[in-house]
Chain A
């Protein structure tokens, strides 16, 4: 019996190379045991249960509610720190930064463009919830729910003021990154935000050494520059900036009225506090502003078209991030060696797959690239629009009477609250008579909420 099996095996070895492709062939019949041997069953450890994912959504919703309450009604920096630590532990180290809203626009984009891809309900919820909250209460998500934000907020030790012009210039990159990531996700190429998320490897305590280094680098930078990722990279932050610009309620520095004492003006490490401005509304000063505004409004579509054209030209380089195109490009590469290497490498195995039907591969790749041409126009137009709108926003005439945080830029960290003397009165740390009443007004109700 044994020798027969070995003989059989040798025969197979001899045949082996020629029949290697015969997949699943039952070359050796399963044995019939005479002893009462029991076959082990192949274990299939289950993934994280669906219920736990709904728990994640519930925790997100709860944390958003608490953050909103802490930032707007309770006005507690300490509470927000506590929530940040919780989020960092739960969404960061426990859930290893995955699932997170930052990556969710990609799921949504892929879901909208690939009919075969069903967006997980949890991803959809993670995408929509913080945005809806931002429409009403600003960036509560950034305040203490986002683990990436919490990590950077907690390591900020000695903030340096980033000059406003630099902040403005770098401020367009989140939008560009968002557009790029959505384009790549919608074409089914790659999940850019996830691949280049610098903090997720830290949460996992393992990962690609480049991204770990970038993450650590950003953290060390973040000790001096407030939230560098959130302000200059985060694509979801870009969406939150847009939505929170129209928010119903928002963080206010003072619980009731501004005494113009300027004590808060340096308290924001993120450069979000705007000083009161009243521009003269004389015809001489209004006319050039209006002309500029008109010019900018007219120039924006031109900018969009131009950028769209540039974007469509990106089809060739960007499409190479799509696995099909990458494989086709590799297959048709001019310098490819003629013979496969003696020992198969992953590359040679992939090219072998390509060689089975190069023409289908080529047409598929060209189809993907065509999608990139269309997508590139949209991407470019988006970038043009962002630049145009930023220029228009910078030309708006502000009419602020109080020191107040910028709706879009404020991440509701709560650092400014206690710098306001009115807040100190509210907290009972100063006697009410220490503060001058607002000129021409009675002392208002000290309840901070509307």
Chain B
């Protein structure tokens, strides 16, 4: 230790004429450096404020000249003037930038000099410490401790009072309940005359498409535009699993997503609930119970116990969410969880329990109320006003029970509602509920929903065949109107999914078949060898399928079958996934999984504010 170069101690040099001279000149230098630093600093501050004030790109002179030019477009001299001014302004800006840079370095150099020289000078003139001997250390300590306690108490008190003052002096404008309109601003949101006042405006179609507002997504096609969903995750290690949330009540319905909120419902023999989760954290934002209609009998409940109370998925129009249960209780809530209306329709006569999911269109709710058997004349199709639940129109349907969800499409210049029922595929006009066309090509227990892709309606006859129908005809159609049909390994529960190019069907026993959407030609098949009840989903060029025993299969699909990765979720899955940017939500029997790459898109404070997109 001693042998290594020892530190030079900072012994104050004995006062000598040369030492004094050095100290004096160093002190002078330090003073010069300090003056220099302060001057440069001041210049920089002044330059900053001047640049802020006279932003060259907000030059009023330039704006005036441009206006002049608009009035006299042929004035060449004016053009030259503008060009000169533009050059001058740009030079001013970039010169300012380089000056600030240079100033900063100068300031830094000045500070370094000041510190170095100042320290050295100080060392030369600092007198050595000569302690005075004193005895009363204990007394001094006690005094200092008492004073210290007092000052800590006072500082704490001051701090507390300041915080109290801050909390007292601040008011919030936020109304506690939605019922209170923002005061003094009705004018701001007043819609143009002619529309209903005090109605928040419907979200745009783009917003609707960017969300997952109904069963199988906005198009009913189970295809998401948010392609940045992870292809791999692990529930055990938590890799790409953002959160897990408990689902309090069972149900086969699939989650829906609006903005940063996920909605789903569940029910058992005693209660029915609607649940809203935060898509970022998985925290439950609200839950609401839906009361049972007065006409529901204990016997009906007993029957439903075997098949489930909450198979239909919810739907939203961006203003409200709607839920229906097998007991026939239909309810609407606003996004904040306040119930808007409730309609007990009575338990439908359905051997399996009502399972047709809801759909919306521009603030209206579509309800396909199929029940009984053919000839009972109890089935009907209704379009309800979302705000009140009152029917806009209703059309009788001469079919028995079915379990396939209708899809609303824009085709042949009309907004059509495509449904299946009995032996038929039927299209209705959304405006008035009148039938547009019908084609007898399906049959059996209609569970796979019709979809619309590549200008074709694709209807599935369970375990029988898939029919492709161009939706541009009218009246009673015949088999000749089919674009094509296919009959290999046709599913009886899951809905086919289609991109613009391909159609995929997934049979309950795990057989996945890919067709060319244009002509129905089979491209490939692949046996996943497990049982599926949930409709798969398409993310970019990947297909995600969830089996009843709780395994997910993810693979790239296209003209050829890709490899499928098996990922265990650990509990049975009966619901189709829902999507938000970068995230996928999967409902298991007891758990809702939030899957996504960590920190993608959800870390910045206030993501929750956006209502969509």
- Tell whether any CB of A sits under 8 Å from a CB of B in the complex: yes
Do A205 and B152 form a contact, CB below 8 Å, given A356-B611, A366-B176?
no
Are A369 and B174 within 8 A (Cβ)? yes
A12 CB, nearest partner CB in chain B, Å: 18
Is B242 at the interface (CB under 8 A from chain A)? yes
Q: Which of A26-34, A55-63, A244-252, A322-330 contacts its partner? A: A322-330
Are B175 and A332 within 8 A (Cβ)? yes
Are B122 and A168 within 8 A (Cβ)? no
> Which of B100, B151, B335 has the most C-beta atoms of chain A within 10 angstroms of its own C-beta?
B151
Q: Which of A36-44, A139-147, A274-282, A434-442 contacts its partner? A: A274-282
Q: Which of B81-89, B164-172, B496-504 contacts its partner? A: B164-172
Question: Which chain B residues border A317 with CB–CB below 8 Å?
Answer: 166-167, 169-170
Which parts of B129-174 form the interface with A (CB within 8 Å)?
Answer: 129, 131, 133, 137-138, 140-142, 144-145, 147-156, 159-160, 163-164, 166-174
Is B7 at the interface (CB under 8 A from chain A)? yes
A211 CB, nearest partner CB in chain B, Å: 12
Is A219 at the interface (CB under 8 A from chain B)? yes
Question: Which chain B residues border A169 with CB–CB below 8 Å?
Answer: 151-152, 154-155
Are A336 and B7 within 8 A (Cβ)? no
Number of A-B contacts defined by CB within 8 Å: 276
Are A277 and B141 within 8 A (Cβ)? yes
Q: Which of A234-242, A261-269, A404-412 contacts its partner? A: A261-269
Is B72 at the interface (CB under 8 A from chain A)? no
Are B608 and A364 within 8 A (Cβ)? yes
B122 CB, nearest partner CB in chain A, Å: 5
Chain B residue nearest to A355 in the complex (CB): B189
Report B185-212 CB contacts with A as 1/0, cut-off 8 Å.
1011100000000001001101100000
Do A205 and B131 form a contact, CB below 8 Å, given A168-B148, A176-B159, A391-B153?
no
Do A205 and B281 form a contact, CB below 8 Å, given A165-B147, A357-B611?
no
Are B172 and A369 within 8 A (Cβ)? yes
Are A164 and B147 within 8 A (Cβ)? yes
> Which of A263, A334, A364 has the most C-beta atoms of chain B within 10 angstroms of its own C-beta?
A364
Q: Which of A2-10, A46-54, A124-132, A306-314 contacts its partner? A: A306-314
Chain B residue nearest to A205 in the complex (CB): B104
A78 and B7 alpha carbons, distance in the complex (Å): 7
Are B141 and A279 within 8 A (Cβ)? yes
Q: What is the size category of the interface that chain B forms with chain A?
A: 35 or more
Is B526 at the interface (CB under 8 A from chain A)? no
Question: Which chain A residues border B611 with CB–CB below 8 Å?
Answer: 356-357, 360-361
Is A117 at the interface (CB under 8 A from chain B)? yes
Is B334 at the interface (CB under 8 A from chain A)? yes
Are B151 and A165 within 8 A (Cβ)? yes
Is B547 at the interface (CB under 8 A from chain A)? no
Do A334 and B159 form a contact, CB below 8 Å, given A169-B154, A266-B129?
no
> Which of A168, A306, A360 has the most C-beta atoms of chain B within 10 angstroms of its own C-beta?
A360
Question: Which chain B residues border A313 with CB–CB below 8 Å?
Answer: 163-164, 167-168
Are B41 and A216 within 8 A (Cβ)? yes
Which parts of A287-330 form the interface with B (CB within 8 Å)?
Answer: 303, 306-307, 310-311, 313-317, 319-320, 322-325, 327-329
Are B147 and A277 within 8 A (Cβ)? no
Partner of A155, one of B10, B101, B111, B281: B111
Are A311 and B155 within 8 A (Cβ)? no
Report A211-238 CB contacts with B as 1/0, cut-off 8 Å.
0010010010001000000000000000
A118 and B285 alpha carbons, distance in the complex (Å): 22
Q: Which of B377-385, B477-485, B598-606 contacts its partner? A: B598-606
Are B151 and A328 within 8 A (Cβ)? no
Is A158 at the interface (CB under 8 A from chain B)? yes
B227 CB, nearest partner CB in chain A, Å: 14
Question: Which chain A residues border B261 with CB–CB below 8 Å?
Answer: 360
Which parts of B53-110 form the interface with A (CB within 8 Å)?
Answer: 100-101, 104-105, 108
Is A444 at the interface (CB under 8 A from chain B)? no
Is A447 at the interface (CB under 8 A from chain B)? yes
The total of chain A residues at the interface (CB under 8 A) is 113
Which parts of A170-207 form the interface with B (CB within 8 Å)?
Answer: 170-173, 176, 188-190, 202, 205-206
Do A118 and B166 form a contact, CB below 8 Å, given A356-B611, A390-B152?
no
Question: Which chain B residues border A22 with CB–CB below 8 Å?
Answer: 206
Are A189 and B605 within 8 A (Cβ)? yes
Are B10 and A418 within 8 A (Cβ)? yes
Which parts of A391-413 form the interface with B (CB within 8 Å)?
Answer: 391, 394-395, 398
B341 CB, nearest partner CB in chain A, Å: 17
Is A100 at the interface (CB under 8 A from chain B)? no
Do A334 and B184 form a contact, CB below 8 Å, given A78-B8, A115-B282, A277-B141?
yes
Do A387 and B608 form a contact, CB below 8 Å, given A157-B122, A358-B200?
no
Question: Which chain B residues border A165 with CB–CB below 8 Å?
Answer: 144, 147-148, 150-151
Question: Which chain B residues border A320 with CB–CB below 8 Å?
Answer: 170, 172
A114 and B278 alpha carbons, distance in the complex (Å): 12
Do A311 and B206 form a contact, CB below 8 Å, given A336-B185, A419-B129?
no
Are A398 and B104 within 8 A (Cβ)? no
> Which of B41, B142, B178, B609 has the most C-beta atoms of chain A within 10 angstroms of its own C-beta?
B609
A55 and B9 alpha carbons, distance in the complex (Å): 35
Is B32 at the interface (CB under 8 A from chain A)? no
Partner of B129, one of A117, A202, A265: A265
Partner of A327, one of B118, B259, B609: B609
Is A15 at the interface (CB under 8 A from chain B)? no
Partner of B45, one of A209, A333, A358, A367: A209
Are A360 and B104 within 8 A (Cβ)? no
A275 and B137 alpha carbons, distance in the complex (Å): 7
A180 CB, nearest partner CB in chain B, Å: 9
Question: Which chain B residues border A209 with CB–CB below 8 Å?
Answer: 45, 48-49
A444 CB, nearest partner CB in chain B, Å: 15
Are A76 and B336 within 8 A (Cβ)? no
A190 and B148 alpha carbons, distance in the complex (Å): 34
Question: Which chain A residues border B154 with CB–CB below 8 Å?
Answer: 169
Partner of B609, one of A173, A279, A364: A364
Are B336 and A359 within 8 A (Cβ)? yes
A49 CB, nearest partner CB in chain B, Å: 19
Are B152 and A116 within 8 A (Cβ)? no
A76 CB, nearest partner CB in chain B, Å: 5
Is A335 at the interface (CB under 8 A from chain B)? yes
Chain B residue nearest to A322 in the complex (CB): B605
Are A172 and B605 within 8 A (Cβ)? no
Question: Which chain B residues border A267 with CB–CB below 8 Å?
Answer: 129
Question: Which chain A residues border B133 with CB–CB below 8 Å?
Answer: 262
A380 and B166 alpha carbons, distance in the complex (Å): 13
Are B141 and A117 within 8 A (Cβ)? no
Question: Which chain A residues border B169 with CB–CB below 8 Å?
Answer: 317
Are A261 and B131 within 8 A (Cβ)? yes
A263 and B45 alpha carbons, distance in the complex (Å): 44
Partner of A391, one of B100, B144, B149: B149
Do A157 and B119 form a contact, CB below 8 Å, given A168-B151, A172-B156, A323-B606?
yes
Are A310 and B285 within 8 A (Cβ)? no
Are A324 and B606 within 8 A (Cβ)? yes
Report A325-349 CB contacts with B as 1/0, cut-off 8 Å.
1011101111111110000000000
Top 3 A-B pairs, shortest CB-CB distance: A357-B611, A262-B131, A313-B167
**Interface CB pairs A-B, < 8 A, 18:** A78-B7, A116-B596, A168-B152, A169-B152, A172-B156, A205-B108, A209-B45, A219-B111, A276-B137, A310-B160, A310-B167, A313-B163, A322-B605, A324-B609, A355-B189, A357-B200, A357-B318, A383-B159
Q: Which B residues are within 8 Å of any A CB, using their own CB?
A: 1-2, 6-10, 30, 41, 45, 48-49, 100-101, 104-105, 108, 111, 114-115, 118-119, 122, 129, 131, 133, 137-138, 140-142, 144-145, 147-156, 159-160, 163-164, 166-176, 178, 182-185, 187-189, 200, 203-204, 206-207, 242-243, 259-261, 280-282, 285, 318, 334-337, 596, 598-599, 602-606, 608-612
Given contacts A168-B148, A314-B166, A320-B170, 12 further A-B contacts (CB under 8 A): A21-B204, A114-B280, A157-B118, A164-B144, A169-B151, A188-B603, A280-B138, A303-B156, A334-B184, A363-B285, A363-B335, A395-B149
